[in-house]
Amino acid sequence: MLSPGFLIAMPQLGDSNFYRSVILMLEHSETGSMGIVINRPAPLQLGNLADGQSLEVAHSRQGDPVFIGGPVEPHRGFVLHDCASIEEKHEVLQGLYLSITLDALRPLLRESSCRLRFFLGYAGWGPKQLEQEISAGAWLFSEARANATLEGNPEQMWDATLRDMGVDPAMIVAGGGIQ
């Protein structure tokens, strides 16, 4: 079962949407798969996004980046967070929740004690598509961790996730997998 888990893009994938990406898998079934790219900051801050939607944001969150969660439905928002008190949430991992409604977003943006990351869009695959890509060497799979999802430095997350698996990122070559 690939969800929850991390998918790590390999160089041979060749899709610029997923270059050096780490994806938190949210759903994997016979009907398809869905995940969120967790290490691709957008050139947009949470404060700017909230202003455009007339949402109140805690001062400490104003400068937080918005992330590009994937190329599918880039106008749709997703929040990964650790705030157990929010009513509308789905537990992805122990201590990591996904919320998708404005009813959940409003209190999350005002609350500064919870960790959160806001994403626009998601990554999706049709039936058996992801299995074929994994078989072709386009992705590696790893156990997902809540702290890495909410705290990891986006620029270092690809390397760090590979190192956590015992793989030296310098040993990965395009088209050939791991040396």
Confidence class of residue 175 from pLDDT cuts 50, 70 and 90?
low
Residue 1 pLDDT > 70: no
Domains in the chain, ordered, with CATH?
5-178 (3.40.1740.10)
Percent of the residues in the chain that have a pLDDT greater than 70, as a whole number? 96
Task: Supply the pLDDT for residue 111.
Answer: 84
* 154-174 pLDDT per residue, tens: 999 999 999 999 999 988 866
**Residues above pLDDT 90, as percent of the chain:** 70
pLDDT at 120 over 80: yes
Residues 98, 78 contacting (CB under 8 angstroms): yes
Please give the Cα distance from 168 to 170 (Å, whole number). Answer: 5
C-alpha closest to that of 173 among 14, 8, 10, 9: 10
* pLDDT tens sequence across 53-84: 888 999 999 999 999 999 999 999 999 999 99
| Rounded CA separation 38/25 (Å) | 10
